[in-house]
Amino acid sequence: MPKKKLTKTQVRRLINVVRRDLYRLMIDRLEHGTKSDMKMTFNKIEEFYTGWALNIGLHEPSFEYSNDATFVRSMYKCIDFVNFTTPKEERIPYEMITGMASLETGYGTSRFAKEANNLFGIRTYNEKIPHLLIESKTTWYGWGIRKFESKCQSVEYLVKLLNSHYAYEDFRKKRQQMLDKEQDLETEELLRTLTGIFHTTQDYTERVLKQIPRIRKHMQ
């Protein structure tokens, strides 16, 4: 029997229920428990609601935008969706992902974003994988810009890359250090671990960070 898709009303209700339960949990654990108790119970609640949402057919949100503000909001909705199936310790800060996508695509206006649904300039070195060539090339020359079925899928792919590719080991170590100290994930420090990797430039971190105030303004 096919699963029913989650409606917008169901999503809102789910979020409200999770917020309510987490609020009650925090109050209870602050009064009677330890940090370890709180973390364990939080993970159990998160696991339960993730399973519930998937079982009733949580589906990828539409990625519609007409300007910078709606692009940023669509990014946040997409990251929410990806986070449902990404363990907490493997998640990437919203502002980091959105800043990278905004810089790489000019807030969704680039050719790669429009024709390949690729928000990060992710390359493929396999000619058999759907791809887009840069405008100066007409035939395969060793790599291309990977095509995705949706923009949200490119976000999901980026998260997987950062969590698994050997080139991002420093990123993962830095994130784990923050998590071990129970710190908030710092976008600037994490971004600096990407400098010089593959096709990023030496000023990549600063260029992404310049997008952050603009992103925050659009999310107010």
Say how far apart CA 97 and CA 211 lie, in whole Å. 11
| pLDDT tens digits, 36-45 | 555 555 566 6
By C-alpha distance, which of 196, 158, 193, 160 is closest to 175? 193
For a pLDDT cut of 90, what percent of the chain falls above it?
60
- Can you give the pLDDT at residue 152? 95
Q: Answer whether 187's CB lies under 8 Å from 212's CB.
A: yes
- Can you give the pLDDT at residue 20? 62
> What integer is the mean pLDDT of 70-84?
92
The amino acid present at 145, given as its one-letter code, is I
> What integer is the mean pLDDT of 130-137?
93
Window from 21-25, 50-54, 81-85, 201-205 with minimum mean pLDDT: 50-54
Which range has the top average pLDDT, 85-94, 97-106, 189-198?
A: 97-106
- 68-121+149-218, what's its fold? Lysozyme (1.10.530)
Where exactly are the structural domains of the chain? 8-55, 68-121+149-218
Q: How would residue 10 be classed by pLDDT, with cut points 50, 70 and 90?
A: low
By C-alpha distance, which of 76, 168, 56, 175 is closest to 122? 168
| pLDDT tens digits, 156-173 | 999 999 999 999 999 999
By C-alpha distance, which of 83, 89, 143 is closest to 118? 143
Say how far apart CA 171 and CA 154 lie, in whole Å. 19
pTM: 0.76
Strand partners, 123: 145
